Amino acid sequence: MKDTTVILSAHNLYKRFTQKRSPTSPSGVLTAVDNVNLELAIGETMGIAGESGCGKTTLGKLMAGLIQPDDGEICFSGENISGLSPDRYKKFRRQTQMIFQDPFSSLNPRMRIGDIISEPLLISQAGSAANRRSTVEALMATVGLRPEFFNRFPHEFSGGQRQRIGIARALATAPAVIVADEPVSALDVSIQAQIINLLLEMKATYNLSLVFISHDLSVLKHVCDRVSIMYLGSIVESAPAQQLFQRCLHPYTEALLAAVPRITNDAGPRPIVLKDDIPSPFAIPSGCRFHTRCRYAREKCIHEVPELELKHSDHRAACHFSEELFLS
């Protein structure tokens, strides 16, 4: 039976950024994460999807503890991380690691890769120098890097190899949770499957819980147990992956799924062309934030904010007319 114990959760999470006035843009407050609630169970892979600029990366950084929320809380093993003692917070940081999107900018070009991978061990004062060296060499072998690469610099490696270095660095402290932010989007298609398979292998080997952020729904369908869809900083739909891909309950998810490329000639759903551009996060629309682009929008959508409600069997959606549109 699958463990449903929650290891990492977000409750009423908000993150805003203030932009100062410049010659080309006005000042204002950008709402990057807007009242998000999520739960990650032990051993679960949770996907977060949405268009560029919807707040996925900011949410990932919040859950990894790299930035602090303005409101709401992040809980690790049931404890609010903002209230942890320094020692407990260090343990949380060791237990929650992040793999970044760009393998070219996320590695220090002046450090040798052995030092990059061992840096988390050095910060957490784990073991002697000799023990750290053996741990790093074992991790390198695990992710498919030869030990003789230890003293090489990042510029000597391909994008796929650099992402393997990033994965090894994330595994160095034996974490319980890894947040992977678009880990394959910067790689060639031929390399993407290798990195995805490596992540799944590491997840099984180390019993990891994984937050997998991506704009590619076909990847999330392959790797995730549960998927949450973000739009303008808010979760608009969340469901077990199989349910979501069989029958979505939000018009935005419908449009995203219809846009997934297909290589067959079957009579699948035709792409849905959304009207207008995505609104500015500096001025989120009233009511349903998707109503300016939704082909089903009605008067109620303009004025009333839909709650992320349970529609059926652990499937939630923030749409006033889900039952009528998708469940009839």
At 28, list the tokens.
Answer: 């204002």
At 165, list the tokens.
Answer: 């270095």
pLDDT at site 25: 64
Q: What is the pLDDT of residues 148-189, one digit of tens each?
A: 999 999 999 998 899 999 999 999 999 999 999 998 887 888
**How does the average pLDDT of the chain come out, rounded?**
89
Q: What is the pLDDT of residues 188-234, one digit of tens each?
A: 888 888 889 999 999 999 899 999 999 889 889 989 999 999 999 99
H helix or E strand, kind and range, residue 153: none
Task: Give the residue among 3, 11, 170, 14 at the shortest CA–CA distance from 78.
Answer: 11
Q: What is the pLDDT of residues 230-271, one digit of tens each?
A: 999 999 999 999 999 999 999 999 999 988 777 666 655 566
The full DSSP string for 196-214 is HHHHHHHHHHHT-EEEEE-
pLDDT at site 229: 97
pLDDT at site 21: 63
Q: In order of start, what are the domains of the chain with their CATH numbers?
A: 6-17+30-317 (3.40.50.300)
Residues in the chain: 328
Task: Kindly tell me the burial class for residue 76, based on how many C-beta atoms sit within 10 Å of its own C-beta (0-12, 13-18, 19 or more).
Answer: buried
Q: What is the pLDDT of residues 82-117, one digit of tens each?
A: 888 888 888 898 999 999 988 888 899 999 999 999
At 169, list the tokens.
Answer: 């660095």
